[in-house]
Structure 1
Amino acid sequence: MWLYITIGLVALLIGIAIGFFIARKYMENYLKNNPPINEQMLKVMMTQMGQKPSQKKINQMMQQINKLQKK
């Protein structure tokens, strides 16, 4: 009886751990392929904040975002 409970708990814990790492890897790949912010979004946000978006400033912001995502 105790053996079945122990095996069940161990299997549950292993399943949770494997599921966590699979989900984590999937999300990392998804965010890498589909970044949450792109240049068009930055232009719109800067325009809404009352700033005139220059390409140089947008490129700098994209580099900062990419640098932060790699950490």
Structure 2
Amino acid sequence: MSTVVWIILLVVALLAGVALGFFIARKYMMNYLKKNPPINEQMLRTLMMQMGQKPSQKKINQMMRAMNNQNQTK
């Protein structure tokens, strides 16, 4: 085979590998985040108690809403 064909095959294989790797990594991270959410209300409550604050449900809801809004704007 000529050199041009080998270069084209190499480029196609490289692009296919990058695309496949991206989708596999994306699927893995989505499953990981579904199983291990970054933070939830119980974690937030525990964190506030460790900092010496008495968490009310209103304050926890407010902080969760603020974190969700911050994540959506990124």
- Give TM-score, length-normalised by structure 1: 0.72
Q: What is the CA deviation profile of residues 11-34 of structure 1, one whole-angstrom value per residue up to 9, with x for unaligned ones?
A: 21232034214423x234653x34
CA distance in 2, matches of 1:38, 1:30: 15
RMSD over aligned Cα atoms? 2.1
Q: What is the CA deviation profile of residues 26-50 of structure 1, one whole-angstrom value per residue up to 9, with x for unaligned ones?
A: 234653x342100110011111111
Residue in structure 1 matched with residue 18 of structure 2 by the alignment: 16
Give ranges in structure 2 of 5+ residues lacking alignment. none
- Identity among equivalent pairs (%): 61
CA distance in 2, matches of 1:61, 1:49: 15
SS in 2 for 1:68: helix
